[in-house]
Amino acid sequence: MTDVEWRLRVAGAADADLVAAFRCASDDRTWQVQVERFVRSNLLDWASDPRAASDDPRALLLLVADELVGVAAHEKAVLTAAGGCRVSATKLQVAALAEPWQGKCFAAGDRASDVLMSAVLTDVRHRRPPRHSHVFAVVHEENHRSLALLARYGLTEDLSRPHPRYRRVITSARRPERDPARDPAREAPRR
């Protein structure tokens, strides 16, 4: 357990050295190395690319003092469902904890991974203009810790696979609660 205060902020150009030193790959697992490379080499360019501005890319840093604990990023996206139907969504581009923080908790008992995931989803909910509530991520099928984390936050439905070894998971497509006062199908009062 770590008895420290954390803070979350948006990443910017001044964070180049901090982000370039980020290490999250604890071994040579392909998916860990890919995430680490993306964060170290592409994250800031991805977030600040003027051609991507309409996708509202957002890179977030989880810090304890000046130590980079975790990185998360998201953007608007459009998925194409079966039959060509287009669905607005938010893509969780990356969520990664620095190697020394993997599996750790803060003093209050919150897992560092839960703090990071909760923070990125809160950021998604507070974007203006509002984002669609569907959030999806692409995860290696053997990355059981990330899949478990995503499942705790409702990313449980499988979509088509972008690659045989990677899963695309999305928040469930629950029907909204019906408000009888606004339901046009409700029965009209009898006179």
Q: What is the pTM of this model?
A: 0.85
Residue 2 has pLDDT above 90, yes or no: no
8 Å CB contact between 78 and 87: yes
8 Å CB contact between 71 and 60: yes
C-alpha distances (whole Å) from 27 to each of 1, 50, 155 are: 23, 34, 26
**Average pLDDT of the chain?**
87
Residue 184 has pLDDT above 60, yes or no: no
User: Taking residues 95-122, what's their average pLDDT?
Assistant: 94
pLDDT digits (tens, 9 = 90+) for 19-63: 999 999 987 788 999 999 999 999 999 999 999 999 999 999 999
Helix-helix angle 144-152:112-125, to 10 degrees: 50
